[in-house]
Amino acid sequence: MLFTRSKILIACTLASSLAITACSNSNNDDKQSPLTASTPATGEASNLSERNAQQRLMNTLQQHFKKANINAKVLDIKATEVPSLYWVNLEGMSSVYATADGQYIIQGDVLRLGDSKIHNVSENLQSEANKKLLANLKTEDLLVYKAKGKTKHVVYVFTDASCPYCHKLHEHLNDINAKGIEVRYIAWPRGEQFMPAMESVWCSADRQAAFDQAITGAPLPPATCKNPVKEQYQLGLNMGVNGTPAIYNAEGVYLGGYLSPEELVERLNN
């Protein structure tokens, strides 16, 4: 089913969100040869030994996924600053961390302490992948609210008409546009029951008017066109979206869930 995530054995979750600013998704032993990176993981695979270690890890993970009936394809593996811990980009689901031996995977954030600000180890790795995915989107497949005057920033927002926080964000859209921010909505229904409403919005001749109507809870005529809603939902999964709104800048950096216009400007400028 589209809205059923693959079940994975999680070794541990290292961090969780400190504040709720988004609507959650409503659906939310053969022996292996030990794999040890020959050089410390520094975030860059800089030599042949490291690339070989990554290839062995990729093969091991694919074997484990197949054995556990997990439908996931490894797209890319990169070393992180944490020794023997790799960032794994997967097709069809959000990225994970994996230990060098391929025996454990971790979903969630790995945070580095010790500085004045907490550092998310995977932020640059994930944003690089996100940027490529967002760049492949066609504006005609999105719901676009252009900036007023000169465009200073472009943000991508995964949204759902049934989400109260999306409604709250949408109420401030004029203020956001007035600050020179172009908003590009991406459909991300939080459950299969919300799919028809989002498809109806995307099939409407005037998507903005339809979304304005749907987000107030008013019914829309059933969808009658080929639409990208399912593909956009899958895109969100690939980027690690688990609730709405989910706001990203054009560089693929996750800015947060609901943000006031002032908070959004601050995040973008920083």
pTM here? 0.76
Q: How confident is the model at residue 25 (pLDDT cuts 50, 70, 90)?
A: confident
Domain end, chosen from 68, 86, 121, is at 121
Identify whether residues 147 and 247 lie together within a single domain: yes
Q: CA geometry: angle at 114 spanning 111 and 117, to 5°?
A: 65
Each residue of 145-171: pLDDT tens digit?
999 999 999 999 999 999 999 999 999
Domain end, chosen from 74, 97, 121, is at 121
Whether 14 is covered by a domain: the verdict is no
Each residue of 70-89: pLDDT tens digit?
888 898 899 999 999 999 98
Whether 128 is covered by a domain: the verdict is no
Identify whether residues 224 and 105 lie together within a single domain: no
Whether 129 is covered by a domain: the verdict is no
Identify whether residues 139 and 211 lie together within a single domain: yes
Identify whether residues 155 and 220 lie together within a single domain: yes
Q: Residue 169 is encoded by which pair of tokens?
A: 């964000």
Domain end, chosen from 73, 88, 121, is at 121
**248 DSSP assignment:** E
Across the range 201-209, mean pLDDT stands at: 96
Percent of the chain beyond pLDDT 90? 63
Identify whether residues 180 and 260 lie together within a single domain: yes
Identify whether residues 111 and 143 lie together within a single domain: no
Range of the domain at 38: 31-121
Domain count, the chain: 2
Whether 152 is covered by a domain: the verdict is yes
Q: Which residues are known to be catalytic?
A: 160, 163, 166, 190
Each residue of 111-154: pLDDT tens digit?
999 888 888 888 888 899 999 999 999 999 999 999 999 999 99
What's the full length of the chain, in residues? 270
Q: How far apart are CA 215 and CA 162, in angstroms?
A: 6
Whether 242 is covered by a domain: the verdict is yes
- 3: pLDDT strictly greater than 60: no
Please tell me the predicted confidence (pLDDT) of residue 30: 41
Identify whether residues 138 and 261 lie together within a single domain: yes
- 49: pLDDT strictly greater than 90: no
Q: How confident is the model at residue 6 (pLDDT cuts 50, 70, 90)?
A: very low
Q: How far apart are CA 151 and CA 143, in angstroms?
A: 17
Which neighbouring-strand residues pair with 185? Answer: 143, 157
Please tell me the predicted confidence (pLDDT) of residue 94: 82
Please tell me the predicted confidence (pLDDT) of residue 5: 42
Whether 12 is covered by a domain: the verdict is no
Identify whether residues 96 and 143 lie together within a single domain: no
| C-alpha neighbours within 13 Å on the C-beta side of residue 118 | 8
Identify whether residues 164 and 207 lie together within a single domain: yes
Identify whether residues 149 and 226 lie together within a single domain: yes
Whether 255 is covered by a domain: the verdict is yes
Interacting residues of 37 by C-beta distance below 8 A, sequence separation 6+? 49, 50, 53, 79, 83, 84, 100
Identify whether residues 138 and 212 lie together within a single domain: yes
Please tell me the predicted confidence (pLDDT) of residue 26: 65
Whether 6 is covered by a domain: the verdict is no
Q: CA geometry: angle at 4 spanning 79 and 75, to 5°?
A: 25
Q: Residue 160 is encoded by which pair of tokens?
A: 């759902």
| CATH number of the domain that residue 143 is part of | 3.40.30.10
Q: How far apart are CA 29 and CA 89, in angstroms?
A: 24
